[in-house]
Structure 1
Amino acid sequence: MKQYSSKRSIQILAHLLKEYGIYDIVISPGSRNAPLAIHFSETDELNCYSIVDERSAGFVGLGMAKSIKKPVAITCTSGSAAANYYPAMTEAFYQNTPLLILTADRPIDYVDIFDGQTIRQKDLYQQHSYGDFQLLEDSADNAGDENFAIIKKAIEVCFEKQGPVHINIPLEEPLYQMVSELPNFPSLEKTIRETTFELSPNLTAEWNTSKRIMILIGTRDYSEELEMQLSQLVKNHSVVVLKEANSNIKHDKFFSHIDRYIFNFNDEDYKTFAPDLLITIGQNVVSKKIKQFLRKASPKNHWHIHEVWHPDTFFCLTEKIKTTPEKFFAKLLKNITLEPSAYFNLWDILRDKRDLKHTDYCLQTNFSDFKLFELLSEKLPENINLHISNSSAIRYAQLFDFPRTIGIFCNRGTSGIDGSTSTAMGFAMKNERQTVLVTGDVSFFYDINGLWNNYIPPYTRIIIFNNGGGDIFNIIPGPSSTNALEEFILTKHHKNAEHLAQHFGFSYTKVDDEETLLRILDNFFKPDEKAKILEVDTSTVENAEVLKNYFEFLKS
């Protein structure tokens, strides 16, 4: 016989989650949220996952939501447990990834009287959420009807904004009373709002009078429709489309390696290559160089296309276009003229020159972080999900081409290293395609609890490039001039992942030369009984010098 929580607020919550199709719940252990754990785990259709560390659990939920492209709920006990969700909350906020955060809480009267595990949880995430809601305690007057309306509103905001929404749930004791039957709930009328879009004639006029049109694509999921639309725009060289590895849009006429082309632009180049109309799509852009370029170039017009966010990243925003890129270009393509542009040819000449230099440098480069990414671009199998950690990992990835059928993901919302592993493992849990995480050593060791997870599929693969510290600080200008570099910034170490892999049930292989790496990669992605970790030790290599020499070689 099933045993449900007797808490009316929890019964309503579970009912509405099912009504809106939110079936996946990440649960971290605790007593105050025990009514949620008890009830959800007994409720048909809900899939419950136990992740102990709340910081990791938040990112696991984020990865799951990115994988299934719909909201995932995460729930924890009261106090610091709720605060540990904050890093994942901020990442979901800036990525527009729908998370429903359900924090159990002590009764309102217990806040600030020094009761155990009690903090100010109401509006805890207010700065980085799309909605903050507080339920009434079951004993409050009209709590059932009020909570039904509050939960309904919270869920609909999560869908509308495609981002994190918080529901704080004060729960009185007793917490473990159960019932075997549930009440009937009132009928539900869904009121999720859909945005409409009409193309302004002014935008059509601006397009048709612009001679140098650039489209820059930041972080976003793959869209076949958008890829086809942009392909029409470049077919006869009408526009320049710049994209990054995690833009997940591919075409031979798109410019895929931004830093390779613009890293040494001077003031004259800024003028020569500047657009007069800039159109941006997607979220955070990895390349710092393109930000510098466009801020100095100061295009006359800048349109940003997004349903929620319209950041003035380049300090020249003129149009906030509140719709999806697919809806926008579907209407724009019907109203514009597409003429060949000398602007495209200008960029194309630069690309051809730099691409040849790139190929030449790869032929002469030995075992290093740079060489690892070159080999991965050649050896990764088709139809996988590639997750890349932040700092140097995503920057190396921008320099190479990966198979067209690979989906590339990176936590570029806040660009932190803290949840890369947990996010990838959450994604893997809900996806039939193989998930491969490529991560630096510091990012991997920082998020060790991302492996404390009983649901990781055996076809999951992790590749760690271990250069003995945060080598990004040897690459970027500034840190190397200080005495604090090695101990406090780079944080040099001599750790490896062998015992961690054994502890968490992964197969483990370590390589420290190119010949062995090539041999291992041929079989590493094939099916096996266990998930696998490959650690590539480049700690004896001057990786920063290899990368710096690369850019010097491009100039020659």
Structure 2
Amino acid sequence: MSISVFNRRWAAVLLETLTRHGVQHICIAPGSRSTSLTLEAAANAKITCHTHFDERGLGHLALGLAKVTGQPVAVIVTSGTAVANLYPALIEASLTGERLVLLTADRPPELIDCGANQAIRQDGIFSHHPTVTLSLPRPTPDISASWLASTLDHAMSRLEQGALHVNCPFAEPLYGGDAAAYAAWSDELGDWWQGGNHWLSAGSEKRALPQRDWPQWQRRRGVVIAARMSAEQGKQVAQWAETLGWPLLGDVLSSSGQPLPCADLWLNNPQAQRLLAQAEIVIQFGGSLTGKRMLQWQAKCKPLEYWLIDHIEGRGDPANHRGRRLVSDISHWLALHPAEKRQPWAAQLTELSRKAQQHAIDALSSIFGEAQLASRLAQLLPENGLFFAGNSLIVRLIDALGQLPAGYPVYSNRGASGIDGLLSTAAGVQRGAKRPMLAVVGDISALYDLNGLTLIGQCTAPTVLIVVNNNGGSIFSLLPTPEAERERFYRMPHQLNFEHAAAMFGLDYASPHDWDSLLDIVQQRWHQQGVLLLELKVAPHDGAETLRRLVNDAAAF
């Protein structure tokens, strides 16, 4: 029984060390091998524990919490395939910069490769995707508590973005024993237990440096691309671009207010392309652009210099422009590079944007469906709330047809752009923010993460989840997929609806058939507690065909 007690002591030092690095939330899946970590997390007053029976969804719940809080979030799972289920969330975090600490319980070495139950090779299971990996030894009093604390401190000091994978083998027994045993081992850390400091302070400060030639560049013709960033940064970038008189191409995830809305439509216009070709410098803030026309223009533009500013390391520019890759917090970079007031140099884009937006509004005025929803989404947003955007077709429609308020918080999983775990991530975002939330996802995304409705049902403020049911993966209607095989192998119609799913998970349900009903239902929800699953049933190809038609129309403005 002494082994089980020491396992707990070991886990207590490990978890206390993580709290010193900002870990306040730990997401826990059921399992026996992870008992020591689970019980010590529950016993630590600094930690808020979250649970879910599905490890894949659990990883995405942690991802959502990390997006909102800006702090590292830990995950505890048992050994075996439970570990592998964390892979999608880890990959997303590695691309979008959230910090996850994956604590994977493991069998001790003597139980690996010998046929022992639930024992797989977990060291290196995530390949190169974690930012930092740490394979701990089996807990033993022969290793000092100070070694464990300093080892975790050093690993966390290197975790500026992405995931830390800590593999934690534990030998049996896992339960029982004299709780007072091995107190001297833990007491070696002395008054560290009563304080809040690291055992080992390590790391280096990274601060952006001013670009000395910025005063000259800001007097030239420039274009700003606003991609994924925080709500506050979106407002700052929009004001900065306006002061400079530079056109801002705003992505749906930028929270910039998209001052030139419907860019994915009017960028197909030859006049707009000729005008933007005069840009001498393009500055992009954030990564992961959504719209097809935006991506095409970004790839083809040839300014004298292309600057990309983002806090996430890596090149971030698939077009490989000549210029500068500046790793920095966006707000800090803007403060170092103030804008000089100048007149707009591409004012004609304002009229082109207005025409594209008005044409879309007129064309969609009587067409109830996902395109109309996308164009009018701002009317549905809760006051002082947040918005979670799904992937595939719906986010492209919102990017092309909608205009979200400047500074309104927008979240998504647009790093790897997968549909796995979207509901669970949205639930984590809402849980971390504790604010009303509107989320919009596609039907395949909802089916893929159906267990995530358990987490959605636990939202702590009024929540509306809109599931756009176009009976399959209609994003493939936008792609040149072979027509003969499109339905069976790409769209995969399912002939399902979500009314019974809502009932199964205890959610309110509605399926309006016109815009006025939809608007009324959503607005009522913001004045009452609970979660509403609103199913928008639409024809399979309408959204994709509408977008294609409006893009072609914009070319003739």
Relative to the length of structure 1, the TM-score reads 0.90
Q: Is the 8 A contact 1:306 1:321 kept in 2?
A: yes
From 268, 283, 307, the counterpart of 1:279: 283
Q: 1:248 — aligned with what?
A: 255
Q: 1:320 — aligned with what?
A: 325
Shift of 1:338: 4.5
The question of 1:171 aligning with 2:170 is answered yes
- Distance in 2, matches of 1:440 and 1:96, equals 25
Give runs of aligned pairs for residues 94-105 of structure 1, distance below 5 A: 94-105=95-106
Amino acid across the alignment from 1:483: A
From 221, 245, 251, the counterpart of 2:230: 221
**SS at structure 2 position matched to 1:263:** coil
From 466, 469, 484, the counterpart of 1:466: 469
Give runs of aligned pairs for residues 38-187 of structure 1, distance below 5 A: 38-139=39-140, 141-142=142-143, 144-158=145-159, 161-178=160-177, 180=179, 183-184=186-187, 185-186=189-190, 187=192
1:154-203 per-residue CA deviation (whole Å, 9 max, x = no partner) reads 22223xx1321111111112222455456332532533432123213244
Q: Is the 8 A contact 1:467 1:539 kept in 2?
A: yes
- Give unpaired runs (5+ residues) of structure 2: 193-198
Q: 1:269 — aligned with what?
A: 273
**SS at structure 1 position matched to 2:307:** strand
Q: 2:301 — aligned with what?
A: 297
Amino acid across the alignment from 1:396: L
Moved more, 112-121 or 408-417: 112-121
- Give unpaired runs (5+ residues) of structure 1: none
**SS at structure 1 position matched to 2:253:** helix
| Percent identity between the two aligned chains | 26
- Distance in 2, matches of 1:405 and 1:278, equals 22
Q: Is the 8 A contact 2:224 2:241 kept in 1?
A: no
1:423-451 per-residue CA deviation (whole Å, 9 max, x = no partner) reads 00111222221122111111111100112
Amino acid across the alignment from 1:173: E
Q: 1:340 — aligned with what?
A: 343
Q: 1:314 to 1:462 in 2, by over 3 A?
A: same
Give runs of aligned pairs for residues 225-236 of structure 1, distance below 5 A: 227-228=235-236, 230-235=238-243
Amino acid across the alignment from 1:227: K
- Distance in 1, matches of 2:47 and 2:376, equals 41
Amino acid across the alignment from 1:292: Q
**SS at structure 1 position matched to 2:460:** coil
- Distance in 1, matches of 2:169 and 2:157, equals 21
1:214-254 per-residue CA deviation (whole Å, 9 max, x = no partner) reads 11111121125x634641442362x2221112111237xx3
Give runs of aligned pairs for residues 10-25 of structure 1, distance below 5 A: 10-25=11-26
Amino acid across the alignment from 1:167: V
**SS at structure 2 position matched to 1:102:** strand
Q: Is the 8 A contact 1:291 1:313 kept in 2?
A: no
Q: 1:136 to 1:203 in 2, by over 3 A?
A: farther
1:306-331 per-residue CA deviation (whole Å, 9 max, x = no partner) reads 23323232221421212222222212
- Distance in 1, matches of 2:240 and 2:404, equals 23
Q: Is the 8 A contact 1:300 1:316 kept in 2?
A: no
- Distance in 1, matches of 2:140 and 2:542, equals 65
- Distance in 2, matches of 1:250 and 1:540, equals 30
The question of 1:6 aligning with 2:2 is answered no
The question of 1:456 aligning with 2:459 is answered yes
Give runs of aligned pairs for residues 352-501 of structure 1, distance below 5 A: 352-363=354-365, 365-398=366-399, 399-404=401-406, 406-453=408-455, 455-457=458-460, 459-474=462-477, 476-479=478-481, 481-501=482-502
- Distance in 2, matches of 1:545 and 1:232, equals 36
Q: 1:505 to 1:178 in 2, by over 3 A?
A: farther
**SS at structure 1 position matched to 2:484:** coil
Amino acid across the alignment from 2:409: G
Q: Is the 8 A contact 2:100 2:163 kept in 1?
A: yes
- Distance in 2, matches of 1:271 and 1:114, equals 67
1:356-398 per-residue CA deviation (whole Å, 9 max, x = no partner) reads 32333233x4112112223432233322111111001111111
Q: Is the 8 A contact 1:136 1:146 kept in 2?
A: no
- Distance in 2, matches of 1:540 and 1:258, equals 25
Shift of 1:117: 1.8
Amino acid across the alignment from 1:412: R
- Distance in 2, matches of 1:120 and 1:63, equals 28
Q: 1:468 to 1:56 in 2, by over 3 A?
A: same
1:63-102 per-residue CA deviation (whole Å, 9 max, x = no partner) reads 1111222111011011111111000001111110111111
Shift of 1:49: 1.3
- Distance in 1, matches of 2:69 and 2:410, equals 15
Amino acid across the alignment from 2:262: H
- Distance in 2, matches of 1:320 and 1:57, equals 34
Shift of 1:458: 5.4
1:463-497 per-residue CA deviation (whole Å, 9 max, x = no partner) reads 111111111111x2312x33221122001121111
Q: Is the 8 A contact 1:370 1:546 kept in 2?
A: yes
Count the aligned residue pairs: 537
**SS at structure 1 position matched to 2:441:** strand
Shift of 1:62: 0.4
- Distance in 2, matches of 1:376 and 1:61, equals 27
RMSD across aligned positions (CA): 2.5
- Distance in 2, matches of 1:374 and 1:199, equals 39
Q: 1:199 — aligned with what?
A: 210
- Distance in 1, matches of 2:237 and 2:255, equals 14
- Distance in 1, matches of 2:270 and 2:393, equals 22
Relative to the length of structure 2, the TM-score reads 0.90
**SS at structure 2 position matched to 1:465:** strand
- Runs of 4+ in structure 1 over 6 Å off: none
Q: 1:108 to 1:264 in 2, by over 3 A?
A: farther
Q: Is the 8 A contact 1:41 1:48 kept in 2?
A: yes
**SS at structure 2 position matched to 1:412:** coil
The question of 1:538 aligning with 2:525 is answered no
Moved more, 197-206 or 496-505: 197-206
Q: Is the 8 A contact 2:437 2:461 kept in 1?
A: no
Shift of 1:275: 2.5
Q: Is the 8 A contact 1:274 1:294 kept in 2?
A: no
Amino acid across the alignment from 1:250: G
Q: 1:156 to 1:366 in 2, by over 3 A?
A: same
Q: Is the 8 A contact 2:263 2:353 kept in 1?
A: no
